[in-house]
Chain A
Amino acid sequence: MDKQKKKTKKIAKPLDESRAKRYTCIVCPTCCELETDGIEVNGARCPRGERFALQEMVMPLRFVTTSVRAQIPEGTMMIPVKTAYPVPMARVFEIMKEIKALRLSEIPPIGAKVTAGSAESPTEWIVTGEVE
């Protein structure tokens, strides 16, 4: 699957300067400085960084994390959740509105799926923590 680690420093590939854009990779704390023209990527120290740059150029995607309210007889509990997949940056506030409107009636276990939003375009969330 993943190629072997390249020990030697990669040679910069020629880019189409008119389309080239710079990004700082946010995949991991290394924060590689990337440059891409949408076809080739320079500066990435791993394949995930290359994918990040190409995706960032067409449509930035982000995981969203928040906590959702569960109303149980003992009171209100906040349940930590993350989106099951990265969502378009442009939809982040809409997605937040949906999950904020949701009220769970029980405390789901860690790893459980929670669906928010409309039936036509639901967003799936995953419970990320235990609540006592």
Chain B
Amino acid sequence: MTTHDHYNLIIIGGGPSGMSVAVGAAEAGLKRILLLERHPRLGGILNQCIHLGFGLSYFKEELTGTEYAFRYKKNLEETCTEVITGSFVHKLTPQKQVAFVCPEGEFVIPADHVVLATGCRERTREMLTTPGTRPAGIFTAGLAQEMVNIHGLLPGKNAVIIGSGDIGLIMARRMTLEGARVLAVMEILDHLSGLVRNKIQCLDDFGIPLYLRHEILEILGKNRVEAVRYRDNATGEVKELSCDTLLYSVGLIPERDLLIDAGIEPGNGYYVSGNADYVHDLVDRVTRDGERLGRSLSGS
């Protein structure tokens, strides 16, 4: 399966961060680099980002997320990095051994350096502990993005978006283009969470209202979402809005469970990169950070 029984560097996660760490490390002269990706293909979250806005800084050109992934994969292919897709890392040890399963079997491989490039996960309705029933029709914005862009499925027809993060704004436009009605984007804070340009081209262009200082109080509905009860925190007024779908875009959490489960702190040959380190606004910065980290690693 793997060509070596020991690697200079094992990277967990084949998104923009993991790929860039491999590219940087190869530049620094590391020879034995292994990249493990759980999905059948490299690219990570970029594969579902079909919208524009990527690459202005790194490639000096505005690209879609999918184009960015394709371009960067070319850089990776020029290196000696071995890639195993469809592989799932389930355990790390303090001795820098990486245990993973893949269709060929189960492996435990040691490395000089191990980089977690596992991205982040979306906060959910459960994490916000929104009261109410548990009907169908509640999604995180990123899940809805995968449904629409990759699987061609529309999550619902009349949607309310909770939170004004970038994915929520992008999905407000995407759902509208696909024929759904986006009734409102509700933000508990007094300011937008995402980029201003996304508010303009995703909400203002389509007349979608942004309600600032609005808090969701309860989800109503038996089998399917039927309405949300919410409060305008500026006036204290409580209202209800009929809808069949809720998309949560309420923040991202770096994914570091592998380290936490093993009781390992970053350092001593373990590194965290990209959105697993902290949530970045732009993939271009993820790439630059990852390349820098890769270049800083020395072969031993």
Contact = CB atoms under 8 A, between A and B. Distances in A.
B197 A29 contact: yes
B205 A29 contact: no
B200 A26 contact: yes
Interface in B132-156: 148-152
B50 A129 contact: yes
B89 to A, nearest CB: 22
B152 A129 contact: no
B74 to A, nearest CB: 11
Interface in B1-56: 40-41, 47, 50-53, 56
Given A65-B64, A66-B177, A78 B52 contact: no
A78 B149 contact: yes
A132 B40 CA distance: 9
Nearest to A30: B197
B47 A129 contact: yes
B19 to A, nearest CB: 14
Contacts of B149: 67, 78, 80
Given A29-B195, A110-B70, A128 B50 contact: yes
B67 A128 contact: yes
A71 B79 CA distance: 35
Contact of B177 (A24, A29, A96): A96
Q: Is the interface of A mostly helix, strand, loop or mixed?
A: mixed
A58 interface: no
Nearest to B205: A89
B201 interface: yes
A84 to B, nearest CB: 13
Contacts, number: 75
A89 B205 CA distance: 8
B282 interface: yes
Contact of B201 (A26, A82, A96): A26
Interface in A23-75: 24-26, 28-29, 31, 60, 62-67, 69
A129 B177 contact: no
A125 B201 CA distance: 20
A112 interface: no
B287 interface: no
A130 interface: yes
A65 B40 contact: no
B128 interface: no
B56 A31 contact: no
A122 B213 CA distance: 44
B41 A26 contact: no
Contact of B151 (A78, A92, A110): A78
A62 B70 contact: no
B237 to A, nearest CB: 29
Interface in B244-300: 281-282
B196 A24 contact: yes
A105 interface: no
Interface string A105-132: 0000010000000000000000011101
Nearest to B202: A26
Given A29-B282, A128-B64, A132-B41, A76 B50 contact: no
B164 interface: no
Nearest to A64: B177
B195 A31 contact: yes
6 contacts: A24-B200, A63-B52, A65-B64, A78-B150, A82-B52, A128-B64
Interface of A: 24-26, 28-29, 31, 60, 62-67, 69, 76, 78, 80-82, 89, 92-93, 96, 100, 110, 128-130, 132
Interface of B: 40-41, 47, 50-53, 56, 63-64, 66-67, 69-70, 148-152, 177-178, 195-197, 200-201, 205, 281-282
Given A78-B152, A129-B47, 12 more contacts: A24-B196, A29-B53, A29-B197, A29-B281, A67-B150, A69-B152, A80-B149, A96-B178, A100-B178, A129-B64, A129-B67, A129-B70
